[in-house]
Chain A
């Protein structure tokens, strides 16, 4: 698979952006002393905060603009509120958020069912494409999953007897 270039200088554009001054510390070195003083800039107008925004404890304010997608709700929301009480430096924050994400996944399924939509997991996982492109691989996946579930159920039934 190797393909060594004999004369790389003939590659179109070779070296056009070569920069012997490319300093690894760029662009931090460009800062001014004024910028060491925290919020030294004229802040943009504040987007109206009319919904619950979970804010990092590592900043004093809500950013001037923010996303409004999916405010926290339910059990996952409670977990997220707890997580945001901790700094970005802590495992508590991030692991709780990952746990909240998993809880949120099941909340989503319940929400779908409540609104009369049974989630089409096959379609949501894009297995239609796999069926079209790699049917044998999909068959192996389904077969393996079915075998594992059957084995687990068999063990559980035997134990319960």
Chain B
């Protein structure tokens, strides 16, 4: 089969690899019909995540058709069209039982702090991902969900990560009616968090980024206020002025390790790798939220350390909430929101690229060329 092959920072290609096989009674093999490149894939692409091995296949956002199932699989059958949450979760451990499907304890031997994630380095379990023609899906009784009749597969593929992560970012913000929510990052997750903030009753939603075309997209898609931090002297001071000098009720970091906007953070976090990515957005979130406010983090960072003003977390009495999205927990509600027309995920898709041209797709997405918001990869076997 054809599959993405990581060769080192900023170097990927498509090669022939052996097709996956059933290795566990609860496995399924899925023929991928669509997969996405996620903003967090760029952390791998740029070499920021430890134990990202040459030869790995990335991709944790995909939908497809079940081709084969293990002897204990009863939840899906061969021929089902399924969307597959990016978390690999057993459904039985103490964490899964609490609804923390992003923190399963039976899916990753390599790091206890991280759940199992498709195609996201050995730090996340060493699984090959969905930027391929076929993928092995463990715990097929838990994760894979049959795509409802009539749902566009482009909507379905974004329900594997983008929509739940954006929604959970807003949910973790504990937004109350009338709250001012500031979201750092106008990528797909930030845009979706803005859209979902209204569902929780926000009174004001502000998105801050420095890419003009993305801000314009966010403004139109999420009906929010947008501001370019390049036009500000200081984003935190700007937030204070915009909120009667109090700060935002909720700040959401939807950027993570790739953040721009602060020279010191960029050099130490992204260039020299002296910290686990640049924590500029988180720094602004902590300093921009009001006293007693909530900072919600869905931006992805590496497992080492970051420079953040933790003293201000204490002094301001801030609550920090963060997690990988618990996709399985949120899916029933979010599928209904898509069906009811409250969320239109597929509108985020700007580029459709054959899997064979994956290097170009990564480069376009990474360098934000051609007004790219969300690229989708189509494997040659998608319409078989």
A residues lining the B interface (CB < 8 Å): 1-5, 8, 11-20, 22-24, 27-28, 30-31, 35, 40-45, 47-48, 53-56, 58-59, 61-70, 72, 76, 80, 83-84, 88, 91, 94-95, 97-98, 100-102, 104-105, 107-109, 112, 119-121, 123-130, 133-134
Contacts known (A69-B126, A125-B363); A63 close to B337, Cβ less than 8 A: no
Q: Which of B13, B224, B303, B366 contacts A88 (CB 8 A)?
A: B303
B200 touches A47 (CB 8 A): no
- In the complex, chain B residues 326-374 whose Cβ is within 8 Å of any chain A Cβ: 333, 337, 340-343, 359-364, 366-367, 369-370
Q: Which of B97, B212, B363 contacts A41 (CB 8 A)?
A: B97
A8 touches B24 (CB 8 A): no
Binds A, one of B100-108, B152-160, B262-270, B283-291: B100-108
B94 touches A54 (CB 8 A): no
Other 5 A-B pairs with CB < 8 A, given A108-B8, A129-B360 = A15-B200, A56-B112, A68-B23, A69-B128, A70-B56
Chain A CB within 10 Å — which of B9, B10, B198 has the most? B198
* Chain B, residue nearest A105 (CB): B8
- In the complex, chain B residues 125-172 whose Cβ is within 8 Å of any chain A Cβ: 125-128, 138-139, 171
- Assess whether B92 is interfacial by the CB under 8 Å rule: yes
CB neighbours (8 Å) of A83 from chain B are 51
Interface string of B204-226 (1 = CB under 8 A from A): 11000000100110010001111
B contact residues, range:
35 or more
> Smallest CB–CB gap between A51 and chain B, Å?
10
> Smallest CB–CB gap between A102 and chain B, Å?
8
Interface string of B243-260 (1 = CB under 8 A from A): 000000000000000000
Complex Cα distance, B97 from A144, in Å, reads 55
Interface secondary structure of A, over-half rule: loop
Complex Cα distance, B7 from A119, in Å, reads 9
- Assess whether B75 is interfacial by the CB under 8 Å rule: no
CB neighbours (8 Å) of A41 from chain B are 92-94, 97
CB neighbours (8 Å) of A125 from chain B are 10-11, 359, 363
- Assess whether B36 is interfacial by the CB under 8 Å rule: no
A11 touches B13 (CB 8 A): no
Number of A-B contacts (CB under 8 A): 252
> Smallest CB–CB gap between B365 and chain A, Å?
9
Interface string of B102-127 (1 = CB under 8 A from A): 00011111111100100000110111
CB neighbours (8 Å) of B366 from chain A are 126
Q: Which of A3, A13, A56, A80 contacts B224 (CB 8 A)?
A: A3
> Smallest CB–CB gap between A29 and chain B, Å?
9
> Smallest CB–CB gap between B51 and chain A, Å?
5
21 pairs, A vs B, C-beta closer than 8 Å:
A5-B205, A5-B223, A13-B199, A15-B177, A18-B176, A27-B100, A43-B93, A54-B110, A64-B24, A64-B107, A67-B127, A68-B126, A69-B57, A88-B112, A107-B54, A108-B54, A109-B7, A123-B13, A126-B362, A126-B364, A129-B360
A17 touches B199 (CB 8 A): yes
B112 touches A58 (CB 8 A): yes
> Smallest CB–CB gap between A26 and chain B, Å?
9
A14 touches B199 (CB 8 A): yes
Chain A CB within 10 Å — which of B13, B110, B198, B212 has the most? B110
B360 touches A65 (CB 8 A): no
Complex Cα distance, B362 from A12, in Å, reads 34
B55 touches A108 (CB 8 A): yes
Q: Which of B26, B97, B110 contacts A56 (CB 8 A)?
A: B110
